[in-house]
């Protein structure tokens, strides 16, 4: 038997890269990048989060996140107080416009995700999620 599938690392990169491209295409009509979407998505899950935490959740640096947040603030999708009531962390939240944009974006993104998982059964999709989670854990979260 010839077991010559590409290494898992390569497949991971390929799948992630391709998904990113497809998401970018899908979000283009909304003038949103994948990074913007990730940011908004996270802010709905954890409202009032700090930029530093948000950065870690989306796998970028604080500095990059602050640049992106400024863009989103300028477009009125996000708000952040200019001064912290306690500590230095500035709690960031979605504006109504931000929520609306996220709703629209989510629809497009889910379409891409469904397309990606189209060839898999529900069981297989769940197994994929489980395996990826195990990989993350093993690599020392």
Partner DNA sequence: TCTCCTATGTCAGTTTACTTACAAGCATTG
Partner DNA sequence: CAATGCTTGTAAGTAAACTGACATAGGAGA
Residues that bind a second copy (CB under 8 A): 5-9, 11-19, 22-23, 59, 109, 112-113, 115-120, 124-125, 127-141
Asked whether 45 and 102 are in contact (CB, 8 A), the reply is no
Q: How far is the CB of 135 from a second copy (least distance, A)?
A: 5
Please give the Cα distance from 124 to 8 (Å, whole number).
Answer: 17
Cβ count within 10 A of residue 22: 17
Which one of DNA, a second copy, none interacts with residue 67, CB within 5 to 8 A by kind? DNA
Q: Is 67 in the site for DNA (CB under 7 A)?
A: yes
Q: Which residues is 94 bridged to in the sheet? A: 78
Q: How far is the CB of 47 from DNA (least distance, A)?
A: 14
Q: How far is the CB of 77 from a second copy (least distance, A)?
A: 20
Please give the Cα distance from 15 to 122 (Å, whole number).
Answer: 19
Q: 16 phi and psi, to 5 degrees?
A: -65, -40
Residues that bind DNA (CB under 7 A): 33, 35, 50-53, 59-64, 66-68, 84, 86-90
């Amino acid at each position: 038997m010839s077991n010559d599938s590409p290494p898992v690392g390569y497949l991971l990169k390929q799948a992630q890269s391709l998904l990113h491209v497809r998401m970018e295409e899908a979000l283009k009509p909304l003038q949103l990048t994948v990074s913007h979407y990730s940011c908004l998505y996270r802010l709905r899950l954890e409202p009032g989060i700090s930029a530093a935490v948000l950065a870690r959740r989306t796998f970028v640096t604080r500095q990059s996140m602050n640049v992106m947040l400024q863009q989103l603030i300028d477009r009125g999708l996000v708000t952040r107080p200019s001064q912290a009531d306690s500590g230095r962390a500035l709690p960031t939240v979605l504006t109504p416009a931000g929520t609306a944009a996220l709703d629209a974006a989510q629809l497009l993104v889910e379409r891409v995700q469904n397309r990606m998982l189209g060839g898999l059964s529900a069981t297989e999709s769940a197994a994929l999620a489980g395996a990826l989670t195990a990989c993350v854990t093993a690599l020392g979260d």
